[in-house]
Each structure stands twice: as C-alpha cells, then as structure tokens.
Chain A
Amino acid sequence: MNQPALEAIGLTKSFGGVRAVADLSFIVPAGIVALIGPNGAGKTTVFNLVTNLFPPDGGDVRFYGTSLRGRTPNAIAGLGLLRTFQTARVFPGMTALENVMAGAHRHVRVAAVAQMLWLPAALREEAALRREAATMLDLVGLARFRDTPASNLPMGAQKLVEVCRALMARPRLLLLDEPAAGLNDAETAETATLLRAAADSGVTILVVEHNMSLVMDIADHVIVLDLGRLLAQGTPEDVRRDPRVIEAYLGTEA
C-alpha cells in the first residue's frame, strides 16, 4: 500500500481564544495536491503547524510515517519537507543565483573547513551547485537575472526564485504558499510548468492557491478548508461540484 506523503491527525491551534484550526485531519497523497478555502480558512496556519513554525495545541503530523511533533523547522527541512512563504522571502543581499544555491544547503557534503582550505572536493561541489542552480534559473526564464540582487527582482521573479530555491533542496514534499499570487498570466503559466515538471520528477507538492484555474489545471487532488475545518476533499471535478464548497465560497442564496 502506498504511504501518504503527509498525514495530519486532529490538528488544533488557537490564537488568543480564536480557533484558527480545529481538529483537522487530512491526507496528502503523492502528486500535486491543492489546499484551498476562503480567506481566513486557516491554510497558512496549517503550513506553519506542519513545519512547526508554531507548535500545534494538539494533534500530530506524520511525514511518510514519521511524526513531526517537537522537531525544529530546520530538522523538518532536513527530512525533505520544504516550504515557501506567502510573501516571497528571498534573501536580500544575495544574488538570484546565490539564493537558489542556498537551497541546496541540506545536500552539501564537504565540511566548512574544506571550503576554507579550497580543497578540490569543495571546489567541485561548489561548481556543481552553481551549474545546477543556473540550469534551474534557465528553466524558469530567469537566466538573465542570475547576478541581480534577488530583492531587486520583480515580485513574480522573486516568487519563482523562492520556488527554485526550495526545489534545489530536492524535497520529497514541497509546501507552496500562494506561488502565483500577484503574478501575471505568463508568470503563472511558467509556475504551472515548473510545478508539473517537479511533480513528474517525483516531488509531492501541497499548494495553497487562490487562482482557481491554476488549481483545477494542475492539481490531482484538492483539500478544501473552511473556518479551520476540513470541508471537502477529492478530485478537482468532485470538489468543484460539491455544494458545500460552492456555499462556502459564494454563500447561500437568500
């Protein structure tokens, strides 16, 4: 039997008495999974709970069967669960290429001392990372921005750089928080291609997104949240027809 990439069991989190996420359980199978819901449904909170940016009040998260409770964010990234942020968080003070290279951190094998001594192994690894990162920027059409300070890039390009950075870590599961928000149509198409390519290479992707045509286009499976609870899940077709989903998004007719 196929083990799910991610399994949330009874996740609960309150902020000052407000229940942001209440007893939420869901399963993320392999492929591209979209996490959708109206504003305030708790989507970003779910990401923050999964990656332990804030600890949940209750419940558990299992990543390929391993519990993530009590692990630090960097330990979780070390297991192969990477994430991006709602507002692009490229590293200012680093070029686009350096940003993407920084993503490979968890794969770096040579010690810092070897890097300081300019040992051949360190130089080889550095060159390999540089090539890999350059290829990735090339793939998303950002080759000309390689040596531009990342924080000087347009917002769309910054978001793509952030996704590339996360993909450089060769994640098993990638959580993307609104990768297409604020992007134009061409950039959105670029993102869709990138995500499809990543999924085809075996990365499972859980994506929060408001752009419904993008969601319906790329997702294999959709999870719908409302008010911190699971509202529905299934294929894009199922979800689109689900009356509860329509109600949550559009309200009931009077």
Chain B
Amino acid sequence: MNQFVQIVVGGLLQGGVFAIIALGISLVYRVTGIVNLAQGGFCILGALLLYSLQLDLGWPTALAFLAAVILTAAFGVALGAATFVPALARLPTSSMLMLTAGLLTFIGGLTLIVWGSQPYIVPPFSGEQPIDVAGILVPSQGPWIAVVAIIIIGGIWYLIARTDIGTALIASAENPTAARFMGVNVARLTLFSFGLAAAIGAVSGAVVAPIMSLQFDAGGFFTNAGFIAVALGGMASLPGAIAGGLFLGVAEQLAAGYVSSLFANGLALALLLVTLLWRPQGFFGGSRRRRDVRDEQRVYRSVVRFSGRGTVVAAAVLVVFLAALPYLVGGALLSSLVITLILFIAVLGLDVAMGYAGQVSLGQSGFMALGGYAAAILATNYDVAPLLGAAAGMIVSLFAALLLSVVTMRLQGAYLALATLTFSLLIDSLTVGLVDVTGGPSGLVGIPSLALGPLSLGTPRAMYFFVLALIVLLIAALAGGMRSSFGRALYAIRADQTAAAALGINVPRYKVAAFAISAVLASLSGSLYAFDFHFLSPEMVSTPRSFEMIAMLIVGGEGTLIGGLPGAALITLLPTVFQPLALYKTLAEGAILVLAFQYLPDGLLGGARQLGRWAMAR
C-alpha cells in the first residue's frame, strides 16, 4: 500500500509537469487549431538556460529561473513572428503541424550546437533532502512542481475567463475572420499565445530539470507527453489538458513500477490509440467543429504534372545518369547513395498517401521498423531467404496498416497525423522494450546480405543496382496508377472529400488503399535498410525518421512521385559530403523543413519549374 501511494505521488509530480506542457499546447491549439509540436523544445531551452545561468554564471536560482523563462519567451516570440504566424495564413493544418515539427528539430539543433549532446542536471531548488509526509517520501522538488503548476493553471484560467485578452483569444479561436472585423488583431494575438506557450514550456522545463537529466533531443519526449496528455483530455479543453497530464503521469509511473519502465511509454501510447478510436475528441472535448474548416480553405496547390514525350526523355536520361553513378563515385559516397535510394522507396510510399491522397502519415518509421525487424529476425535467426523475409515484413505491415486504418478512418488532417505519430512512437517503444526479440537498444547484429537466390548482393554497387532497378519498376507501376482513375480518385479525395464522395468515390476505401501502399513500401525500405547495414537498431527506424521523410517529400515536391528523390538525396548526402558539419545536421534539417514549408510549397521540382518558366518568359 505504501509503495502504491509512493508511486502515485511520483506519478502526480510527473503528471503535473506533463499538465503544464499540455496547457501550453492546448493554449496555442485553442487560438490557432494547430498542435504545436515545438512546445517540448521550449522546455529544453528553458531548462538548459537555467543550468547555464545558475551554474556557469552563478546567478541565484530565482533570478536564473526568471531570466530563463523570459529569454525563452523572447526566443519563442521571435521564432513565432518569423515562421509560425506568417505561415498560419497560408498553410493547411497538416503542413502547419510539420512546420512545428521542423521548429522542434531546429530548436534541438540549436541546443546541440550551444550545449552539446551531454545530459545536464540542475540541483533541486531547495536541497536534496526528500520531505517525509506521514511515511511517504516526497522529493524536495515536489512542492515546487505543485506550486508552479497551480500558479500557471490559475493564471491561464484568469487570463481566459477574466480579461479582455482572454475574450479576444476565445473570439479568434471561434471565428478568426469575425474577430478581425471586430477589431481584434488576430496575428498579434496568435503571436502572444505562441510566446506565452513558450514561457510556459520554459517554466515546465526549468521546474523538472532537477529531477530529470536533460539533453538537446529530449524535446521530443516532452512534446510527446504533452501531446498525449492533450489528446487524452481533449485538444481545446484546459481542464482536459490538466486531467490528461495527471492521468498520463500516474499511469506511466504505475506501469513502470509494477510492469517495466520499458513499457511505460508503450502503455501511454496504447491508451491514446484506444482513446482516439473510442472518443476522438478526448474525455473533455466538446465540439469538433473546428476540425476541417481550415483545411478546406487552404487546400489549394499548384498543378505539377509530368506527361508527354518530354517526360519519357527526361526519365530515360535520369535512369542512365543514376545507372552510371556507381562508376563515377565509390566509397562512403556510394554507400550513402544506396541509403538514399532505400529511403526513397519509403518516401515514394509516403507520396502516395500524402502527396496524392492528402493523408499526412507519420507512420513511415513504424512500418520501416516492422519490415526491418521482421526481415532481419527471419533471415538471421531462422535462415529465411532475405527476399522472403522482406515479403513477410510487407505482409505484417499490411495488416498493421489495415488495423491502424480502423482508428484513422474517421480522422483527418492533424488528428490523422497524430494517430500515425502515436503508432510510430508505440513501435519505437516496442523495438526498445522487446529485448528478447529485437535485441533492445543495442540492436540486432549479423544480418545477412540481400541475396537473389544464389546471387549475393554483398557489395554496395550490387545493392545499388538492385535497389535502382526496383525503384524504376515501382515508379513505373505507381505512375501507371496515378495517371489513371485510381490516381484521380486519390487526388479528388485530397482536394475535396465531400465532392469526391458525391461522384461515387468510396473515400474510406481509397484512403485505406493509399495508406496500405505507403505502409508496404516503407516496410520494404526498412527490410532493405537492414540487409544493407547488416545491423538494425531502434534509433535507425525511430520516429524522427518519419519527420525526416516528410521533409524529404516536401523539399522535393509532393504529388510528383520523383520529388522524393532529390529530397532524400539532399538530406542523406549533405552530412556525408560535409562530414565536419555533422554537428549542424539537426539544425539544418529543422531549418530546411521550416523554410521549405514556408517558401517552397511545391518543393525543389515545383520551384525549378517555376524558375524555368520565369526564365522562358524573359
């Protein structure tokens, strides 16, 4: 009993932190309808600033705390003014979600450069000695977390319920256009909420810093926790965010205490998937009215088409060039080219789901993991032929995709992206947690090379040609589908689901088909990846990979099939070519993602085409 209470107390403390983060996410969501995935980045920034001010500069804790929060808020406002607010007027919800993911990566990259990759821990605010409350030990940081949480919750409640700013916030959340006509400066208010959320993030990071070691990439953890908390409680509901946070904290601690800490995260994610299936609006969520309004307003995109003789000639030239590459380069660059092509297969799948059918999927890393581990385990431990292993992985992924479709069928836009994100995170925790099957964090070693019957593809060059041939076949098949009624149906669904259904298009069936294609291709990519490396660890196919694939697709140009290739090449090859700049890779990736979303909505291909047209017109 004592142990149980002890665990619950720990859970409530952790939950309190989750609740504060969730409040920040919920606040921005209320005003903009966007889930701000950058929130966790502000937590880390706040915590690391506190560390530097307190320990490097020797400031007193209270002053350092205050300064860290103010600096983070100022940084948040600057970042919001440069990216989030201007983009909000132009981008659909799903692109905004990715933009905030880019911001999270960007902040992570920035902290990596400033603070390096080692973990930091801040001394507790009031000594190490835990407080004894009737036999229950409460960490000395506990009361601080509780007090801060209560102050923030009360402050936000007061702001929204009792002040003019609060009224204006509600108005611009309900109807931005009408609010604008009533004299509310919606852009400034959005920026205000973004900055306030950054400050709240900094507070939660600073207050938790003494009980958790934090490093540059922990932002993802906080974002996940906060997002799961709001999704459980109801996106736009402040009480929901608090309840969701506390519930999540207690549930995770109980799972860690009584089962295994490896499954704590998995449990939370499974909870979320069940919630999304059963009650997509969360426990406290009321109206779902806001859901698609924005998407329908801003679904417009330009038409990038490849057709006619020019395309055939260009495709032939491209294939000849790609086939000649292994004779021109070798060594590390050739290995990177093989990886580029392998990842491109998964991006190709993503293009069908996202570029054509408009289904933003963050599930690619999860399916890569399924395919990779299934093929690797079968080939390594059971001597199954590698190609058969890959096929088995594809079947597993197909079933997983169909199962996931049951959840995602009713979801659109940001909710769909979040459900697939949850899936990837769940697979992450399984690949780490099922040590007996996957080898856990240290990974699987001794995976054989790919072989076609007796022909082994052990060299990078052989692998390159095999994957290239596979890609040519895949693109030919997909192009055949996309230029015909199948592709038109997907495109129609992306553009306008209601109008598509009114033409007799079975919207759910086509969505599932597109999703299944994307899953199977991701799975294939994962299997090839494992055979190419002869090694597979969870982090090679973990959730950041999903975001990376979206970046590859957006940078290259979605809805074009081939667009993912320059995107994948850029993101994979740059770090190889500029090895000394590896430190800046995360920062660059985040910046590329944000900039591409803001300034190159049609990707490199669309941009190049526009440049060509502009040059022609001169």
Contacts and interface: CB of A to CB of B under 8 A. Distances in A.
Q: Specify which of A82, A89, A112 lies most central, judged by the most chain B CB atoms within 10 Å of its CB.
A: A112
A116 B480 contact: yes
A102 B502 contact: no
B476 A118 contact: yes
A93 to B, nearest CB: 5
B494 A77 contact: no
Contacts of B505: 74, 77, 102, 105
Contacts, number: 114
B496 interface: yes
Interface stretch (B109-117, B265-273, B436-444, B483-491): B483-491
Interface in B488-522: 488-489, 491-492, 494-496, 498-507, 513
A89 B305 CA distance: 21
B496 A89 contact: yes
B294 to A, nearest CB: 15
Max chain A Cβ within 10 angstroms of own Cβ: one of B303, B503, B506: B503
Contacts of A204: none
A72 interface: yes
Contacts of A211: none
Among B498, B504, B513, max chain A CB count under 10 A is at: B504
Contacts of A53: 498
B300 interface: yes
A94 B480 contact: no
A126 B487 CA distance: 12
Nearest to B495: A91
A106 B488 CA distance: 12
Contact of B498 (A73, A151, A166, A169): A73
A77 B301 contact: no
A110 B489 CA distance: 14
Contact of A93 (B303, B478, B484, B504): B303
A41 interface: no
A93 B494 contact: yes
Given A51-B502, A73-B498, A122-B484, A93 B491 contact: yes
Contacts of B381: none
A149 interface: yes
A63 B408 CA distance: 33
A210 B437 CA distance: 69
Identify the interface centre among B481, B484, B502: most chain A CB within 10 Å of its CB.
Answer: B502
Interface string A148-178: 0101000000000000011001000000000
A112 B503 contact: no
A51 B498 CA distance: 11
B303 A91 contact: no
Contacts of B491: 91, 93-94, 98, 102
B504 A77 contact: yes
Nearest to B510: A112
A103 B503 contact: yes
Nearest to B509: A74
A126 B559 CA distance: 20
A251 to B, nearest CB: 31
- Name the residue among A51, A53, A93, A117 with the largest chain B CB count within 10 angstroms: A93
A231 to B, nearest CB: 28
A80 B394 CA distance: 38
B582 interface: no
Contact of A77 (B300, B302, B492, B502): B502
A118 B303 contact: no
Contacts of B299: 92-93
A85 B504 CA distance: 15
Contacts of B477: 116-117
Contact of B489 (A77, A78, A105): A105
Interface residues of A, number: 38
Which of A102, A117, A165, A166 has the largest count of B CB atoms less than 10 A from its CB?
A102
How extensive is the interface on chain B, given as a class?
A: 20 to 34
Given A53-B498, A89-B498, A77 B303 contact: no
Given A77-B501, A98-B488, A112-B486, A92 B301 contact: yes
Given A94-B488, A102-B492, A129-B485, A74 B300 contact: no
Interface string A118-156: 100010001001000000000000000000010100000
Nearest to A48: B498
B31 to A, nearest CB: 25
A108 interface: yes
A117 B495 contact: no
A169 to B, nearest CB: 6
Given A89-B496, A115-B480, A149 B302 contact: yes
Nearest to A118: B480
Contact of A92 (B300, B484, B489, B506): B300
A151 B481 contact: no
Contact of B486 (A77, A115, A149): A115
A101 to B, nearest CB: 6
Nearest to A149: B303
Nearest to A115: B484
A216 interface: no
Contacts of B495: 91-94
Contacts of A149: 302-303
B505 to A, nearest CB: 5
A108 B488 CA distance: 12
Contacts of B498: 53, 73, 85, 89
A77 B503 contact: yes
B503 A169 contact: yes
Given A91-B491, A93-B559, A106 B480 contact: no
Contact of A105 (B303, B494, B503): B503
Given A53-B498, A104-B485, 20 more contacts: A51-B502, A74-B505, A74-B507, A82-B502, A83-B502, A85-B498, A92-B300, A93-B300, A101-B488, A103-B503, A105-B489, A108-B485, A110-B484, A112-B484, A115-B483, A115-B485, A122-B480, A149-B302, A149-B303, A165-B503
Interface of B: 299-303, 305, 476-478, 480-481, 483-486, 488-489, 491-492, 494-496, 498-507, 513, 559
21 contacts: A74-B502, A74-B504, A77-B505, A89-B498, A91-B499, A92-B301, A92-B495, A92-B496, A102-B485, A102-B489, A102-B500, A105-B488, A108-B485, A115-B484, A115-B485, A116-B477, A118-B480, A122-B480, A129-B485, A149-B303, A151-B300
The 5 A-B residue pairs whose C-beta atoms are closest, nearest first, are A77-B504, A106-B504, A115-B484, A91-B495, A112-B486
